Structure 1
């Protein structure tokens, strides 16, 4: 089966890592969770298409795709690389042969290598297996990050309850210079904020950040965001670095931070075990003192201290910090509804009506909600913090909707009075009972259209009965007319609600916002 094309976001990330950060193909492949052959293919396509970096602002995702994939010819196919390490481990099992593994490989990848080439590639790979080497980290290249296994506690002064605090640790590869702080949670906001403070503590940014495969960093494989969390990726772009997670079941990939965490637990946290902390600030002040002493403490087997190595090795090689700290933002995908609004956290934000039924990216910051389509921002709104609130840009409406909204409450009530006082009162009640004016307009216009089908006398009678029964909605007036209840004599006593402890009444629903 033909290989699926990468998303435009992933292709742009490949180009950014190559042309902005000057990373090698294999580093890009690890960061983007791709094979190196795939990375090479897309870089070659970009070069052949004459694409430059940064990509021009007016070149949207559609235009970029046409440049990368001209005509209707499918992309060049490459045989997927077998997982040689997995093959090597499987061959240790009794009864497993290369012939069996090749058969399973072909079942998954019919376009893959034939048996002879499959065996040849495996034997070439097997010759490259060497005993583990001691990794040598270049200055300013990598920052390793993780949470410590040891948890500290903050005591509630009122109840005496102890709440856990989690210890974030960051270690520079070349100098072992260490940063640590306590956070109340391990959620995405705490994770991103700790990274920002770590960069500020070091006074610069490394070329690569190496996290574990924590859920806040790497999402589960899915069709929408199969790799890095979008917020984590955006933070890396803001600081001009790249995220290369440690491989699963490869502890040597993050041996530096594993050792750093162990050192922090033993030399910073353990000495604090008998102290009682009553606030996060107090705990972090104690951790800051312990980390400062750790960085100034001489090595046992090397000359100098972590701080001295940092000053001579890592600090001169770090990239400068950007002008401002990264503004935390959540990302999600939503589909534009038929009313050209999207729902975000139980509130509604408008998008251009041309995007109805189309999927857009939503970027949520502390104060704004941005909508993006194919990498281009199409709307920005002030963030709402209530429930069921609307933020609508008039320019997003179709022209006929803009004319429709030229109606005002006064105009609608004036029209209703031409039918009768009960119809006017019904319209007034509808407008005053809706949380958003446009919702009331729609119901009132429905009542107006009933006047085209039924006589003013019938409409008056139906509105009178609906008002008496507390049914303040277009659908109730319509039901009364369709069932002929407007011609039945109105008995106020029967229509009035009976007193009963299980009847909540209109006041309850008005208070709860139930419509």
Structure 2
């Protein structure tokens, strides 16, 4: 019966397996993002303030306005970070930040390439140009309070610890953790610096020298 009556009506199985999706309603913020589990996804700027339906599974995030699909992203569960696409925003939306970041990079290169490289790592870690700009700008202001040598040393220290951002660098300076990276009176920096072994040299000021309670 199957061979004579049903076989001819069979169709191929779907190429893609059916995947169960979850659904969530969100309003687009003023920065053109919606949030899902504390991670932020961009949508076209014209949808700011609109109510969106988010369909998501383990791999993909789809964002709908009514029945229209307006954005898709690979899912990312890293909290407080951003997934964005340049085409989602009008020309110039990130332009000023990109231009201003280049100005900050130019200033950093005039201080030391160590500072420049650190700021580029901050930009990469932040993933969101406005946030990266604020962090990099704050880092450069630390030169006025702590001086150029300490800023360079702090960037080297924080980079070795893989800690990127204004708060991370300020903490290094406040705790005096940059002291091991400062040059001695001959302009030399201790090679193979480690955090476990304190340096003892008459020309190198230890980190205790910079602690607040020493002042």
TM range (shorter): 0.5 to 0.7
Pairing of 1:151-162 with structure 2 (within 5 A): none
Q: The residue matched to 2:174 in structure 1 has which SS?
A: helix
Q: The residue matched to 2:108 in structure 1 has which SS?
A: helix
Residue 125 of structure 2 is aligned to residue 458 of structure 1: no
Residue 40 of structure 2 is aligned to residue 362 of structure 1: no
Q: Say which one has the larger Rg.
A: 1
Distance in 2 (CA, whole Å) between partners of 1:444 and 1:412 is 7
For the aligned residue pairs, the C-alpha RMSD in angstroms reads 4.6
Q: Which of 87, 96, 115 does residue 403 from structure 1 map onto?
A: 96
Q: Which residue of 1 aligns with 2:161?
A: 469
Pairing of 1:88-487 with structure 2 (within 5 A): 286=7, 288=9, 332-337=24-29, 339-343=31-35, 348-350=41-43, 352=45, 355=48, 360-362=51-53, 369-371=63-65, 380-381=70-71, 383-387=72-76, 389-392=83-86, 393-395=88-90, 402-408=95-101, 410-431=102-123, 433-434=124-125, 436=127, 438=129, 440-486=132-178
Distance in 2 (CA, whole Å) between partners of 1:450 and 1:477 is 9
Specify whether residues 445 and 351 from structure 1 end up closer, same or farther in structure 2 by C-alpha distance, changes over 3 A only: farther
Distance in 2 (CA, whole Å) between partners of 1:338 and 1:462 is 35
Q: Is the 8 A contact 1:468 1:496 kept in 2?
A: no
Distance in 1 (CA, whole Å) between partners of 2:175 and 2:46 is 37
Q: Which residue of 1 aligns with 2:195?
A: 495
Distance in 1 (CA, whole Å) between partners of 2:97 and 2:144 is 18
Q: Is the 8 A contact 2:158 2:169 kept in 1?
A: yes
Q: Is the 8 A contact 1:469 1:495 kept in 2?
A: no
1:427 positional shift: 1.8
Gaps of 5+ in 1: 1-270, 273-281, 290-328, 498-515
Distance in 2 (CA, whole Å) between partners of 1:286 and 1:428 is 62
Specify whether residues 340 and 482 from structure 1 end up closer, same or farther in structure 2 by C-alpha distance, changes over 3 A only: farther
Q: Is the 8 A contact 2:154 2:173 kept in 1?
A: yes
1:338 positional shift: 6.2
CA offsets 1:213-242 (integer angstroms, 9 cap, x no match): xxxxxxxxxxxxxxxxxxxxxxxxxxxxxx
Q: Is the 8 A contact 1:394 1:402 kept in 2?
A: no
Q: The residue matched to 1:434 in structure 2 has which SS?
A: helix
TM-score normalised to the size of structure 1? 0.26
Q: The residue matched to 1:467 in structure 2 has which SS?
A: helix
1:477 positional shift: 0.8
Q: The residue matched to 1:471 in structure 2 has which SS?
A: coil
TM-score normalised to the size of structure 2? 0.53
1:330 positional shift: 8.5
Runs of 4+ in 1 over 6 A off after TM superposition: 365-368
Q: Is the 8 A contact 2:61 2:75 kept in 1?
A: no
Gaps of 5+ in 2: 11-20, 77-81, 182-189, 198-215
Distance in 2 (CA, whole Å) between partners of 1:458 and 1:347 is 35
1:437 positional shift: 5.9
Q: The residue matched to 1:361 in structure 2 has which SS?
A: strand
1:443 positional shift: 3.4
